[in-house]
Amino acid sequence: MVIRRIKFTGSSPSLKLCPSEDFPEYAFTGRSNVGKSSLINMLCQRKSLARISSTPGKTQLINHFLINDEWYLADLPGYGYAKTGKKKIGEFEKLVIDYILYRENLMSLFLLIDARHPDLDNDKKFMDFLGVHGIPFVIVFTKADKLSSNQVKKSKDLFLRNTLQRWETSPDIFLTSARNRLGREEVLDFIERTNLMFKKR
Ligand code: GTP
Ligand code: MG
C-alpha cells in the first residue's frame, strides 16, 4: 500500500468523542513505551506524526489519523505504567476498554509486544481479555533491531509456547522495527487486505 495522504483528525478523551465510524479502523496498543508511536511514524513514513515519548505514559488520549481518505489508524494510550498515579491508570483503562469493546469499525487491534520481553504478565492478561471478548487482533513484535535473528527466534518460540498453553491457536505475529523499517510492507498489506472486509453499518 502506498500512503498518499495522512490527516490527523484529533485526540479523543472518550469513545463518544472519537470520529464517526465510517471507515475501517486499526488500533495500536500495548505496554507503555513498547514503541507504538514509533511504529505508527514508521508505517506512515513521518518523523513525528505520533508523538514519541522519552517518558512512558505520555500518550493519554486516543489519537486518530485518517489514511488515504480510506482507513483510520488509532494510537491508544499505553497500559501498565504506574508512575502517573492510581486514579489516572483507572481512567486509561476505562478509555481503552470502552474503545476496544464498543468501537464498531475496529477491524483489528495491533497488540505490540517488545521482542525482548515476550513473557510479561500484563501482556498475557491483556491478550486473554481480548480472547474472552472475541476482539480480532494480531501481535506485533517491536524493536527487533535490538536482537539477533537467533534471539528473535527464541522470543517467538517462547511467546508461542506460552500462548499455546492457554489458547488453541496463536494470533498472527508481525516482526517489526521502527529503526530499520522491518515489517512495514507486511503490516500495510495486512491492512489493505482487511480493508476489503469492511462493511458500513
Ligand atoms: P507511550 O506513548 O508512552 O505509551 O509509548 P509508545 O509505546 O508510543 O513508545 P514510543 O514510540 O514513544 O517509544 C518508546 C522508546 O522506544 C523511544 O525511546 C523510542 O525511540 C524507542 N523505540 C521505539 N521503537 C523502536 C525500535 O523499533 N527500535 C529501537 N531501537 N528503539 C525503538
Ligand atoms: Mg505513544
Give residue 147 CA to ligand 1 midpoint distance, Å: 15
Asked if pLDDT for residue 124 goes beyond 60, the answer is yes
Domain that holds residue 176: 6-199
Contact 31 CB / ligand 1 (< 6 Å): no
User: What pLDDT, on a 0 to 100 scale, did the predictor assign at position 87?
Assistant: 45
Is 63 inside a domain boundary? yes
Is 50 inside a domain boundary? yes
The maximal CA–CA distance of the chain, rounded, in angstroms, is: 45
pTM over 0.85: yes
Domain count, the chain: 1
Tell me the average pLDDT across 155-179. 96
Tell me the average pLDDT across 28-57. 80
Tell me the average pLDDT across 119-137. 93
CATH code, 149: 3.40.50.300
| Amino acid, single-letter form, for residue 52 | I
Asked if pLDDT for residue 163 goes beyond 80, the answer is yes
Asked if pLDDT for residue 60 goes beyond 80, the answer is no
Cα angle: 133, vertex 97, 17; to 5 degrees: 125
The DSSP code for 133 is T
Choose which residue among 29, 38, 43, 59 to substitute to test ligand 1 binding: the one with the highest number of ligand atoms within 8 A of its C-beta.
38
Is 1 inside a domain boundary? no
* Paired residues of 111 in beta bridges: 29, 139
Asked if pLDDT for residue 55 goes beyond 80, the answer is no
Q: How many CA within 13 A on the CB side of residue 173?
A: 20
Characterize 91-113 residue by residue with b for buried, 16 or more Cβ atoms within 10 angstroms of its Cβ, and e for exposed.
bbeebbeebbeebebbbbbbbbb
Is 96 inside a domain boundary? yes
* Residue pLDDT, tens place only, 68-96: 999 999 998 877 654 544 444 455 678 88
Q: What percent of the chain has pLDDT over 90?
A: 72
Is 162 inside a domain boundary? yes
At residue 10, the 3 state secondary structure works out as strand
- From residue 128, alpha-carbon distances to 112, 135, 136, 188 in Å are 14, 10, 12, 25
Report the atom number in ligand 1 closest to the C-alpha of 53. 12
Quote the CA–CA distance of 50 and 174 in Å, as a whole number. 20
Query: Any alpha helices (H) in 103-120, and if so which ranges?
Result: none
